[in-house]
Amino acid sequence: FQAEDGIRNARVDGFVPGSVLKVVMKNFMTYDYTEIQPGPRLNLLLGPNGTGKSSFVCAICVGLAGAPKLLGRADRPSEFIKRGQNSAEVEITLCSSDPSKPLVISRKMKKDNSSEWRLDGELVGVKKVTEVIGALNVQLDNLCQFLPQDRVVAFAELKPPELLLETEKAIGNASLHRDHEQLVQMRGNILGLEQTVKQHGEMLERLRSQNAELERDVERFQQLEAMKEEIRIMEMKRPWLKVFKAKENFVASKEKLKEAKALLRQKEQQLQQYKAPLSASKQAYEAASLKRKTLKNELTRLDSQRAASEEMLIGMGHEVENHELQIKMVHQKAADNVAKIQRLEGDIVERQEQLARLPPPVDHQAEIHQLGEELKQLHNEQRELQFQRDHQAEQQELPRRNLNTIADKLRRMDDLRNQRIQAIARAINPGILSAVEFVQNNQDKFQKRVYGPVAAEVQISNPQHAKYLEQQCGANLWACFVTQCGADRDYLNKEFKARRMDSSVRNYNGNAEAPIPIPNNLQDLGKYGIECTLDMTYEAPQVVKHILKDSHGTHKVFVGTGRTSGMMQKVTEETDIHQVWTPEACFTTITSKYDRSAKSTRSNATRDCRLLMNNGGSAQEKEQLQMKKQECEEQINFSIEKCQEIDAQIKDLDVRINEKKQRKQALLTETRESQKERAKITDSIAHKKQMLKMSQQANKAPAEEEAKIRRTISMKNNERFNKLSALADLFERMKIKEIEMAATALEQGERCIQAEHYQRQLVERENDGAQALHIKQQLEKIVKEDKEKFHTLHEEANRLAPKDPDPERQRVLEAKLEALPRDMDELDELIAEKKAEADAMFISNPDVLRIYTNRREEIGKLAEKLEVESEQLAGQQTQIDVLREAWLPELRECIQKMNASFEANFAAIGCTGMLELHEQGEDFEKYEVCIKVKFRAEETLQVLSSQRQSGGERSVSTMLYLIALQEFTKCPFRVVDEINQGMDATNERKIFTKMVQAATSPNTPQCFLLTPKLLPQLDYSEEITILNIFNGPLIAPIAKTWVPGSKWWQPAT
C-alpha cells in the first residue's frame, strides 16, 4: 500500500508526538520496496498468512532500535535482509511536537550485522536514536505496548509481579515503574543497614561490659609500670658509665702511641748510616761478577771451537781410512766378478739341457672351441626364457596397479563410515563410538540385523543432494540405530541405558522389501525443472530408506534445479507439491487454515553438510569394485604360475651351462699347466744371460777406480795438517783467558766479604726498626679499637638512654641520673633490688592495659559509627516512607480504575473479570497484580493462566486488559499482532467492538491490529484505517483500481 505525502499532511493533526506517520521498507524480508502510511487511531492490517503483515511489525521494531530478540523470530539484523540482497533499509517517520517537522529515522542493515543510522538525514549513532525514542516514551520491550505475533503467548504467561512491572512501565510516563524499582532497591539497601545497626549495638554493649571488669587490674598494672620506669632510668646510667671508662682507656693508649712513634724515627735515622757503604760494595761485586761472566762465555766459545776442530780432524781420519778400505774392496770385487761369470755360464748350460728334456705341449683348442659354441647356444636359450619371464612380470603390473586402485577406493568407502561416525561424535553424540562398537560386537545377539548409525548407512554421490537430505531429516535421525523387531529394540535400549550410551533406537515393523511409491506425475513436473524425489537421490538398506520415508516423507519431497527457484509461483499455483529443494533454498508451501485456496511460500537457505560429507560411492559401485578386484587377482595368479614354469626351465639351463663351463675350465687349466714349466725355464735362461753380460762389462776398469781413490786420500791429508795448525793457536788463546778469569774471581770474593759485613750491620739495625714499627702498629690497633669501642658505647648509650626532646623533662631526667651511684657495682645492686620488688607484684594478665586501651578506643569508634549508621537508617526509612506514600496511592487508584474498566468490558461480553493489587508491606518485590476471570456461570473466579484457560480465553483476557490499560498509557502507539486467533466468532465480534470504542476515543494512542481475517458485518468508524496487504504476480492489476485515501467500499472508477 502506498500513499501520497499530501494525504498524510492532511491527516497529521490527529497524530500525537511519537505516532507513526510512514514506514518505508527496502529489500526488507519479503519486500523489494513499499511504503505504509497508517492513520492516527486504530489501524487494521489485513492479509493472508505469509503476505508480509508481520514484516511491518519487524520493521517498526528494528527501525526504532529495538532488539531483534523482542520479535521472537531472529537474533541478528542480517536475517531481515531479503534473500539475494546485500543490505536492507527501514525508514520510519514519527510525529514530533512540531507537526510541520516530522522526525525521520533511517536504519540500513548489512550482511555483516552492522547498521548505519540516520536521524533527519544526518548520520548518527544508535545511542542518539535510543535517546530520541526514549524521550517519546516508545517502549518496544513492554508487552503492554508492543505485542508481536511470536510473543502473544509470553504475555499470557507473565507472572503477577512481572505483569505489575509491565503495567507500571505503560502507565503515564513510567514514573510508577521508576518509583517501584527505586523502592525495591532502597528496601534492599536498608535491610543490610538494619542488620548492621543491630549487630553494632550488641557489640558495643558487650565491649563496655568487658572493659568494666578490667579496671582493677589496670590500676595494679599502672603501679608496676611506675616501678619499671624507675628501673629503666637506672639502667639508662649503666651505658654512660661504660662510656666514661672507655674514654679513659682511649686517652691512655693515645699517649703510648706517641712515645712509640718517636722511638721509630730514631731507629730509622741509625739505619740510613749503613745503607751507602753497603750499596757501593754491592756495585763493585756486581761489576766483578759481570766481567767474570764475560770471560766465562768467551772460554766456552773457544772450547766449542776446539771441540769442533777435534771432531773434524777425527772425521777426516775416518774418511782416509774408508778410502783405503775402498781400494781393498775394488781388488776383492774384481776377483768375485770373475767367479760369478764362470758360475752363470754353467747355469745357462744346465737350464738349456733341462729344457731339451721336457715333453711336447698339450693342445685342446678344438674341444674348447666346441664347448664355447655350446655355451653360446645355451645362453641364447636362457635369454629367451628370461625375456618370456619378464614379459609375464610386466603382464602383472597393470592388474596390480588396478588392484591397488580398487583397494584404495574400497578403503575410502570403508573410511567414509568411520568419518561419518566421528562427525556424529563431534556434532551430536560423543558416546556414539561406544554404541557402534557394542552393536558390531553383538550382532549375533540380535534376531535380525541392526543398522546404524543411519548416516553411516546412506550412500549418496551428489554433494548437493547430500545437503538436501541432511537438512531435511535433521541431526537426531542420523545418529540413531535401526532395528527390525521389537525385541531387538528393547534389548538395545536396555543395554544403551545400562552403559550410559546416549543413543536412540528406531524400530521398523513393516515389510522392508516393499517398494517405496513414486509420484505418478514426476515426468510432468520436469517442465518446472523438478528432477526427482529426495528418496531417489541416495542408496541405503531398504529398511533404512523406509525409516527416512516414514519419519520425514522423503518420497514426497522433490528435488529441483536453479530453474525451479524462478518458477516457484507457478509450482505453488499449479501443483500440490508441499516442499521442493533447489540449489538456492528449500521452498515450503503453506496453505491457510481458513481458506485452502490461499497459499504462501516460505524459503530456508541450504546449509553445508556436517555428517553426509565426502561420499565414497554407492553399494552397487562397491560390489562392482569387489568383482573387478577378484578379476585382477585371477590375472595376477595366472601370470605368477607362468613365471614359475619359466623359472624351472631357466634353472635347468643353469645346471647345463655350469657343467659346460666346468669342463671348459678344466681343459684350459691343463693346457696352462703344460705350458707353465717350459715358460719358466725359458725365462730363467734369459735372465742368466742378462746377468752374465752385466758381469762381463763390470770387470773391465778396476785400475782407473783405484787411482781415483788415491788422489782423494792425498787431498784429505793436506786438509788435516791445516786443521792441526789452527788447533794449536786456539789452545794458546784459551790459556790466556783462563789466567785472566782467575784474577777476576779473587776480586769478586773480596767484594762479597765486604758486602756481607755491611749487610749484617744493616740487618741488626733493621730488626731494631721493625721491632719499633711493630710496637707502633700494635698501639695504633689498640688506639683504633679503644676509639671504636668508645664511639660504639657512646652510640649505644644514646640509643639506650636518648635525650628527651622536651628540655624540662630532660633536666629532670639528668637530675635523677646524677643522683644515682657512679660506681657500676653499686648501680647493679640497686637495679637488682628494684627488680626483685617488681617481681614480687603479681599480675594475672600482662596484656591487661593494652587490651583495656585498645578496647576503649574500639568502643569510641564503634559508638561514633553506630550513631552515623542509625542516622542513615532513619533517613533512608524516611525516604522509603515518603516515596511509598507518593507511589502506592497512585498505583491503587490506577488499578482500581483499570479494574472498573476491566469488569465493565467483561460484563459486556457476558463474563466476569477483575483485577486485584496484592500488597506485601515493605516487601516491594512481591507486589503483584492478578487477573481473575470467569467465562462460565458455574465457575468461580480463577487467576488467568495457561493451565486453566484456553488460548481463545487468554486472548480475550489479554485484549480486554490492554483496553483497560489504554486510558492510563501515554505511549504514542501500540502494536498487537493476531491477538484474535483462537477466539470464537461471538467473542471476536465483542472484542473488536471494544477495541474500536477504546481506540477511537479522544486522547488515546495510535493502535495497530494485525490479523489474517475479520468477521463480516463488523462495525467500523471514520477513525479506523484499513491497510490491506497482498502479494503475488496477479496483485498489480487489482492494485491499480485503488487510489491512496479511497474507501474500501468505494474503489476507483
pLDDT at 9 over 50: no
Q: What is the largest CA-CA distance in the chain?
A: 174
Mean pLDDT of 449-474: 88
The confidence band for 633, taking pLDDT boundaries of 50, 70 and 90, is confident
Cell 619378464 belongs to residue: 390
Q: Is 23 helix (H, G, I), strand (E, B) or coil?
A: strand
The confidence band for 231, taking pLDDT boundaries of 50, 70 and 90, is confident
pLDDT at 867 over 80: yes
> Tell me, what's the pLDDT at 489?
92
Question: How far apart are the C-alpha atoms of 315 and 723, rounded to whole Å?
Answer: 12
Task: List the Cα angle 990/994/996 in 5-degree steps.
Answer: 115
> Tell me, what's the pLDDT at 3?
35
pLDDT at 6 over 60: no
pLDDT at 819 over 50: yes
- Which residues in 347-428 belong to E strands, given as ranges? none
pLDDT at 893 over 70: yes
> Tell me, what's the pLDDT at 506?
92
Question: How far apart are the C-alpha atoms of 603 and 588, rounded to whole Å?
Answer: 6
The confidence band for 5, taking pLDDT boundaries of 50, 70 and 90, is very low
Mean pLDDT of the chain: 79
Mean pLDDT of 608-619: 67
Indicate the DSSP class of residue 559: E
pTM of the model as a whole? 0.38
pLDDT tens digits, residue range 726-738? Answer: 777 877 777 887 7
pLDDT at 843 over 70: no
Question: How far apart are the C-alpha atoms of 100 and 78, rounded to whole Å?
Answer: 34
Question: How far apart are the C-alpha atoms of 601 and 584, rounded to whole Å?
Answer: 14
The confidence band for 681, taking pLDDT boundaries of 50, 70 and 90, is confident
The confidence band for 620, taking pLDDT boundaries of 50, 70 and 90, is low
Sign of the C-alpha dihedral computed for residues 862, 863, 869 and 873 taken in this order: positive
pLDDT tens digits, residue range 315-354? Answer: 777 777 777 787 777 777 777 777 777 777 787 787 777 7
**β-pair type (942-943, 928-934):** antiparallel
The confidence band for 595, taking pLDDT boundaries of 50, 70 and 90, is low
Cα dist. 616→413, 459, 461, 464, 929 in Å? 5, 8, 7, 14, 64
pLDDT tens digits, residue range 115-141? Answer: 999 999 899 998 898 888 888 888 777
> Tell me, what's the pLDDT at 544?
92
Asked if residue 137 lies in contact with residue 973, where contact means CB atoms within 8 angstroms, the answer is no
> Tell me, what's the pLDDT at 1053?
47
> Tell me, what's the pLDDT at 1017?
66
Question: How far apart are the C-alpha atoms of 131 and 105, rounded to whole Å?
Answer: 12
The confidence band for 10, taking pLDDT boundaries of 50, 70 and 90, is very low
pLDDT at 31 over 70: yes
Question: How far apart are the C-alpha atoms of 627 and 633, rounded to whole Å?
Answer: 10
pLDDT at 615 over 60: no
> Tell me, what's the pLDDT at 308?
83
Asked if residue 1007 lies in contact with residue 976, where contact means CB atoms within 8 angstroms, the answer is yes
pLDDT cut 90: percent of the chain above it: 9
Helix axes 365-427, 432-441, angle to 10 degrees: 120
pLDDT at 156 over 70: no
pLDDT at 871 over 70: yes
The confidence band for 217, taking pLDDT boundaries of 50, 70 and 90, is low
pLDDT tens digits, residue range 532-543? Answer: 999 999 889 999
In this structure, of 3-17, 362-376, 641-655, 837-851, the range with the lowest mean pLDDT score is 3-17
Residue type, 124: V
> Tell me, what's the pLDDT at 1033?
62
Cα dist. 546→447, 511, 518, 535, 597 in Å? 19, 9, 13, 10, 32
pLDDT tens digits, residue range 74-88? Answer: 778 888 888 888 999
In this structure, of 462-466, 547-551, 806-810, 833-837, the range with the lowest mean pLDDT score is 833-837
94 beta partners: 20, 103
Question: How far apart are the C-alpha atoms of 1028 and 1011, rounded to whole Å?
Answer: 10
**β-pair type (31-36, 20-28):** antiparallel
pLDDT tens digits, residue range 749-800? Answer: 777 887 777 777 777 777 777 787 888 788 788 888 888 877 887 787 777 7
Q: Find, among 621, 472, 481, the residue nearest to 533 by Cα.
A: 472
In this structure, of 282-296, 457-471, 674-688, the range with the lowest mean pLDDT score is 674-688
Question: How far apart are the C-alpha atoms of 849 and 645, rounded to whole Å?
Answer: 119
Question: How far apart are the C-alpha atoms of 372 and 101, rounded to whole Å?
Answer: 123
The confidence band for 418, taking pLDDT boundaries of 50, 70 and 90, is confident
Q: Find, among 751, 765, 766, 762, the residue nearest to 276 by Cα.
A: 762
> Tell me, what's the pLDDT at 505?
92
Mean pLDDT of 44-61: 82
> Tell me, what's the pLDDT at 558?
94
The confidence band for 545, taking pLDDT boundaries of 50, 70 and 90, is very high
Q: Find, among 191, 45, 4, the residue nearest to 973 by Cα.
A: 45
pLDDT tens digits, residue range 181-191? Answer: 888 888 888 88
The confidence band for 8, taking pLDDT boundaries of 50, 70 and 90, is very low
Mean pLDDT of 717-744: 78
